Amino acid sequence: MSQKKIVIVGSGWRVENYLRILAHLKKDFLVQAVVTRNPEKKRLYHELGVVCVSDISEALTTGSPDFILLCINMNVQAEKLLELLSLELPLLVETPLGINGSQLEMISRHPKSRQYTQIAEQYAMRPLQKAQLQLIRKGVIGVPQSAQVSLTNNYHAFSLLKAYLQNPGKLLSVQGNRFTVDSRSGFLRDQDTDGKNLVTEARTIGIATFEKGAVGIYDFEGDQHRSYTRFSHLSIRGDKGEINNEEIRYVSEPGIPSYDKLWRIQRGINENMEGSGLKGIQFQGEWLYKNPFSDLPFSDDDIATAEVMLAMAQFCETGESFYSIDEAIEDMTFTLLLEASIKSGQVEKIKNSPQSDS
């Protein structure tokens, strides 16, 4: 794969994360320019050796990029996406694609949106998730019938539910409920609270039904993904067994009740001198997942983000989709229906979801 030139539109926390990751992937990617009008970010990026410009037209004077990464405030991202589609360049768009039905409808109906756009939805590309998905594909737990995600919020969680349920068909309905609970403060992007503060969090539970009969359960409490006092819960139940985070209960052939675990294999522990980082994840001595960036100082989310970037590079070369706008539209539709159900107290059903004109 040839090195891909990127123009990044945006300069928030997520962009800084991309730049940090891309600094380790210089063989595969070159950041041609960052589009931002924020003077503080311009100074910061200049110190990092990144070219900063004030608008997309100025960025294009440095040459045509292989793709544009759009990563700006969610309230204006849909509008900018529709504007950038006129350039007829591949676009990688951060989540969410849009924040309301009207925006999703406009993006869906744009004649160029499917040809040029992919979505940076990385959660199913994290190491644990890839190992779990491989276990499901191997048939260890049989046919998945329900999944519970209590790890991340809204559209991210729904993307995982769909992945775990393995082609469950279209979303049919969502029923939601929300209540408050007391907890302790977790870590933030820019500081560590050490759990010193008593906080009140909103816990949201949603039940999603799909056309093939599977059920997805969404359970998320405030800043659960940054909490010191809450576990993450990932459960996938099939007719032969259940995956519960790293643990698996199942009936193995020829009908033996079994229990096993996913084993995370790390470098650099005790006398291991291979450096530090994740090597991969095993089940019964077999690699379910091997980290393609094992020599780099990447977190699990960094690994997934790097995987998204490589998938986008592949999309630029072959047109092979890895996360389409239709998937992202359904993810955000779930979020909108969940909020509507909480407000109405009723089950919200799909009515006129955005559909392709093609």
Looking at per-residue confidence, does 188 or 281 come out higher?
Answer: 281
d(CA 82, CA 77): 9
Nearest CA-CA partner of 327 in 295, 353, 309, 347? 353
d(CA 341, CA 14): 30
Task: Give yes or no for residue 119 having a pLDDT over 80.
Answer: yes
Structure tokens at 337: 């229906």
Q: Return the percent helix, strand and coil in the chain, to nearest 5.
A: 35, 30, 35
pLDDT at 177: 98
Domains and CATH numbers, the chain: 4-123+305-324 (3.40.50.720), 124-294 (3.30.360)
Total-model pTM:
0.93
> Are 40 and 66 in contact, with CB atoms under 8 Å apart?
no
pLDDT at 320: 97
Looking at per-residue confidence, does 334 or 357 come out higher?
Answer: 334
pLDDT at 25: 97
Q: How confident is the model at residue 357 (pLDDT cuts 50, 70, 90)?
A: very low
Q: What digits encode the pLDDT tens for the residues 42-61?
A: 998 888 889 999 999 999 99
Left, alpha or beta for 34 (phi > 0: left; psi -120 to 50: alpha)?
Answer: beta
pLDDT at 235: 98
Structure tokens at 240: 């032969």
Task: Give yes or no for residue 356 having a pLDDT over 60.
Answer: no
d(CA 151, CA 123): 10
pLDDT at 358: 35
The phi, psi pair for 243, rounded to 5°, reads -100, 125
d(CA 198, CA 184): 5
Task: Give yes or no for residue 188 having a pLDDT over 80.
Answer: no
